[in-house]
A and B are shown apart, each in its own frame.
Chain A
Amino acid sequence: MSKATSQPNPNMLARARGPRGFGGPVEKAKDWKGTIHRIWKQMEKQKMALVFSIIFVILSTLLGLAGPYLIGIIIDEYIIPKDITGTIKFLGILTAIYVATALFTWLQTFMMVRVSLETIRNLRQDLFNKLHTLSLKFFDKRTHGDLMSRVTNDIDTLNNALSQSVIQILSSILMISGVAIAMFSLNWVLAIVTLLVIPLMILTTKKIITYSSSYFIKRQRDLGELNGVIEESISGSEVIRLFGKEEKINEQFSDINERLRRSAMAADTVSGFLGPVNNFINNLGLGLVIAIGAVLAVHNLATVGIIGAFVLYSRQFFRPINQLSNLINMFQSAIAGAERVFEIMDETPDIVDKENAIVVDSLKGDVEFSHVTFGYEDGQPILKNVHFSVKAGEKVALVGPTGSGKTTIINLLSRFYDVTAGELKVDGRNIQDYQISSLRKKIGVVLQDTFLFSGTIMENIRYGCLEATEEEVINAAKMASAHQFIQHLPEAYLTQITSGGENLSQGQRQLLAIARAILADSDILILDEATSSIDTNTEIEIQKGINKLTEGRTSFMIAHRLKTIENADRILVIHQGEIIESGTHQELLKKKGFYFDMYDSQFKLQEI
């Protein structure tokens, strides 16, 4: 098969909207052999079970061939001579063979399901684990639906193919070789004639498979894209409803659904052709055998009996061959899916530990941004030559208009991204020298977008520190002023919250996120708009808790309510990716610059 011609555009949705999404150049099947090889490598971990099931396949196939042979003997040598006792004796042997066949067949499938599912389990886990090694850049690029579809749909398809096809392919091959041997020992000329059809069959099969696999890939793509739309519209359903855009989303969905209708129809139709076409070739082959047989018979090179036997044999011969091509066809969708799975596996994580990365036990908390420039996309810097240093234990506030780059600074400090130019130092060392996991453990973050997991409130707070006792969790909640509302929930700390925490208000979610960060007990604390949706009363209470927490620790705070950051040791004013002012609240007010304007405008409103 041909090698990959072009890498697909990772931004599926860009294609989705264009009217040209359909009808582009037909995608060729990509690296077939490579993918199969990699699947095989995955299966190797189950070598023993695989070996056993192969042994069972051989045994059951051989016994399967022995049955009819024995029946022939029984009929010719015992039934026709009317020997009842002899018949019964041989029937006993036949029964034993049948029992063994059934047993081995069962064992073989039993083992093979195990092999396949274990392989799939590992693959699924590997893929999941892999996702965790990838940086946010990767996730920024892809839709959730597309990734979901790879871990679920694509892997399922592969499972179906593995658990059913592998064994059948093997037994088919055994059967084919057994019959071939028998045919050649009977009459080599007719045997060659029978085999003549095989190239034709392989050719058409290959043609159909190549043709259909491009449709299969397309179908899987459309399905992934559809998942993206489905997920987005379900998670954003409230907004859709509010703006009465049900119809519009329906149209968008219908668009892709219609595309899927076509690609699925094409995939199912073309791949289905294999059966009848091969059946037709079989029949042609049979006709050929009989025609040549007739000629041979005229020249006394074959008997009627041998022709009869060949007719039977060629049936037995082509059935597994047909099956084989069917199985390969089934593999098509699996390979297409597996390719997409391996595509993720092949992503190189761009943020990884260096060799000899330093394991952090504790951080003093010195932070230095040294001429840092950074942009999420090339050529679009968000931060420009940002330069500042923070001493251990300092409380730093970042203020500035929306989009000025405050959150980006936080993202760099958590090492979600690496700087484009310049250097970011923690405790005097480049942040890239540290082991990422141990570094992040020592940096506590309350993010702007608070995300909670489905599970109990207790579990969610404990996310900050898995070893925390119940008491510690409650203490953290108290410090975050979350205890109050949690107590009033139907099952207090054991209340289940749904994925994304939608059954809590934004403010309550922020309180939980703060409690979670408090429990983490880090050396550097980052609060990114952590209290934006919390009422001021509660905020002041939390502030006490946070003050206690930040004592002696370096902390970064982003807040729009300038009130909350007034008592920071230093305030950095960021505007369009640059630090334009820095100093204490009082200093900055005296300066009458940007900060003063911001402060003034916020509080002027209150002076009425």
Chain B
Amino acid sequence: MKAMKKLVKYIKPYLLFAILAPLFMCIEVVMDLLQPTIMQKMIDTGIANQDNEYVIKFGLAMLLCAIIGLIGGIGCIVFSAKAAVNFATDIRHDVFKKTGRFSNQNIDSFGTGKLITITTNDITTVQQAVIMILRIFVRGPLLFIGSVVIVWFTARELFPILLVAIPVLIAFIYFFSVKSGKLFSQVQKAMDKVNTKLQETLAGIRVIKAFDRQNYEKDHFKKVNNLLTNRLMTAEQFVLTLMPIMMFVVNLGIIAGLWLGVIKVNEGTLQVGVILAFLNYLNIMMNGLISSSHVLMQIARSFPSAERIVHTLETKIDITEPVQPRTIYDLKGEVEFRKVNFSYSKNGNNVLQDISFKAKAGQTIGIIGSTGSGKSTLVKLIPRLYNPDSGEILIDGVNVKDIPLENLRNSIGFVPQKATLFSGTIEENLRFGKELASERELDQATESAAASEFIMRLEDKFSHSLLQGATNLSGGQKQRLSMARAFIRKPSILVLDDSTSAIDALSEGLVQQALREDYADSTVFIISSKISSIIDADQILVMNDGEIEASGRHDELLRKSEVYRKIVATQTGREVEFG
């Protein structure tokens, strides 16, 4: 309910439509209520007296009513669709925009499957609820209230029956609405599970096939599918119980009316016609209530959806723009870590511990260490993908937290471990790095990343289309493009996170040469497990269990670091002796 209130602001720009829709509906309802009266007159007065002029006059009136009613009805449809669809589209837009600003941690806390459900299903549910409110919610109560009033004026003797029936009906509707809201939030949870399973199947289809686990996956899916079906069954069967109960209560009202009626008729205090009228209005009343309760149910069903939407919109983004931004206009690329600690779980299990080092502008920093020693985490802190728990990271002497995010990230060319590319052409993917890159720049960046050769072999060259996840490229090709995308920025700071793991040695040599020659001014961070990639670095950081075990140049480290010596030995196949 609260969540719904928070979404109300989205209807504001379309308030006119949202008001017009029910107003037009009122027109239709009034016309519909007028029809029987006009007809009654035509039959009772016109036909009975064979007064043709009267019949024609009222016939035309009826036609007019019908036309006005049509206008009312169509008006309501048009305006309600306008209000609801615009409302939902705007929400979807904001939700997506918000998730776009989510940090890594924010996304982890939701999960991809759930975020997708929120941006699609949940928003559609809310949209449907709004349409229902605007189209039917006016009609139901109007009919209900109208008939109660008419009973009060024309059949007051039987009014006490309503005093019992109405509270009972409303109590039932209330109970069912509340309970169904809860049941449907359970349904939604099961739905999320189905979605997650499905998504994993699509993403991991190769693994599933390779291990021939189709049957295992089918069984798994069967479980979540059954869970969803069972919960849906409970929820829907429960909700649909309301209808017969309401009908029964109203029918009891009819019986009570007849009973009370026969007694009063016997006493001579009531006309038979009044009983008939009462029965009719009871029916109209019930129709009004039923359609309102349907709408209520739909609204109740949309509460959990609305809640999730609001939750997404209100999630605090943990990486935000600085309060007092300090823009660095000519960023040189000096990077300094001062006693940086970091953990993902925030429960003391530090991934990085007491990291301090300084990289001068234009230097090349190699980072080496065993799997899970914190190499990737370290470089992810530079573009502020995460904030350190304690300590500071400075660029050109300014704390990264004080640099505007755009300024910061624009100065960094980052090649992540996983080469994520997007569906679109190769060129579009490269322009990710620099929107307005010239053709020359495109050529140069791909040349530096040793990607030109394979691109030129493609029929469409730079216009070659990539599928989602770039599944039509090999791992090495993806890595090359991912590098080229970063190179094209000519950034002050270049980060290569194990970006050549799937690239052959010849090409890697080319990349290294390019780095030396064309990116001499950039501060380059290279994470690699291969000594050969970092051997020339101005400074090598040897990482071990989240700490910098040793740092220095290659020959320096050979002298002073046991860990480093071991790595070198395993890779060159010979013992290195110094001393």
Contacts and interface: CB of A to CB of B under 8 A. Distances in A.
A242 B63 CA distance: 66
Interface stretch (A22-30, A139-147, A181-189, A549-557): A139-147
26 contacts: A75-B272, A91-B258, A94-B258, A109-B240, A121-B229, A232-B469, A240-B100, A246-B100, A257-B93, A261-B85, A268-B131, A276-B69, A283-B65, A283-B69, A290-B43, A308-B43, A403-B454, A448-B475, A449-B206, A454-B196, A454-B200, A466-B213, A499-B199, A508-B372, A540-B570, A606-B572
A515 B194 CA distance: 28
A606 B80 contact: no
Given A75-B276, A117-B232, A563 B571 contact: yes
B207 A605 contact: no
Interface string B105-122: 001100111011101110
Nearest to A82: B266
B482 to A, nearest CB: 8
Given A75-B272, A99-B248, A118 B229 contact: yes
Contact of B344 (A121, A265, A503): A503
A276 B67 contact: no
A537 to B, nearest CB: 6
B63 A287 contact: yes
A202 B201 CA distance: 45
Interface stretch (B146-154, B389-397, B439-447, B500-508): B500-508
A414 B208 CA distance: 12
Given A114-B233, A279-B70, A453-B204, A440 B243 contact: no
Interface string A129-164: 101110010011101110111011100100100010
Interface in B488-544: 498, 501-509, 512, 529-533, 535-536
B108 A113 contact: no
A258 interface: yes
Given A440-B210, A449-B206, A498-B108, A113 B198 contact: no
B61 to A, nearest CB: 10
B394 to A, nearest CB: 20
Given A121-B225, A257-B93, A597-B506, A380 B112 contact: no
B530 A561 contact: yes
B112 A403 contact: no
A239 B420 contact: yes
A458 to B, nearest CB: 15
Contacts of B406: 244
Contact of B258 (A74, A101, A275, A400): A74
B372 A505 contact: yes
B185 interface: no
Interface stretch (A33-41, A221-229, A422-430): A221-229
B217 A132 contact: yes
Interface residues of A, number: 178
B85 A268 contact: yes
Contacts of B254: 71, 94
Interface stretch (B1-9, B157-165, B170-178, B411-419): B411-419
Nearest to A450: B207
Given A294-B55, A402-B507, A249 B100 contact: yes
Given A307-B43, A403-B454, 10 more contacts: A109-B240, A113-B237, A121-B225, A228-B468, A258-B89, A290-B42, A414-B209, A463-B213, A520-B211, A606-B531
A277 to B, nearest CB: 7
Contacts of B385: 238, 241-242
A254 B195 CA distance: 24
Contacts of B572: 603, 606
B360 interface: no
B420 A236 contact: yes
B503 A230 contact: no
Given A227-B116, A228-B468, A230-B120, A451 B206 contact: yes
B135 A272 contact: yes
Contact of B198 (A83, A114, A148): A148
B472 to A, nearest CB: 7
A362 interface: no
Nearest to A576: B457
Contacts of B259: 87-88, 91
A598 B573 contact: no
B236 interface: yes
Interface residues on B, range: 35 or more
Interface in A398-434: 399-403, 407, 414, 416
Contact of A148 (B103, B195, B258): B195
Given A147-B202, A279-B70, A605-B535, A532 B501 contact: yes
B372 A507 contact: yes
B262 A291 contact: no
Nearest to A449: B475
Contacts of A98: 248, 251-252, 255
A501 to B, nearest CB: 10
A414 B210 contact: yes
A95 B216 CA distance: 55
B353 to A, nearest CB: 14
A444 B196 CA distance: 26
A283 B63 CA distance: 8
A31 interface: no
Contacts of B532: 602-603, 605-606
Contacts of B181: none
B436 interface: no
B276 A124 contact: no
A125 interface: yes
A466 B252 CA distance: 60
A191 B412 CA distance: 81
Contacts of A121: 225-226, 228-229
A304 interface: yes
Contacts of B573: 563
Contact of A102 (B245, B433, B459): B245
B10 interface: no
A260 B459 CA distance: 34
A147 B368 CA distance: 41
B263 interface: yes
Contact of B454 (A79, A144, A261, A402): A402
A601 B509 contact: yes
A536 B474 contact: no
A389 interface: no
Contact of A234 (B39, B99, B261, B371): B99
Contacts of B258: 71, 74-75, 79, 87, 91, 94
B485 A102 contact: no
Among A151, A163, A466, A603, the one with the most B-chain Cβ atoms within 10 Å of its Cβ is: A151
A308 B536 CA distance: 101
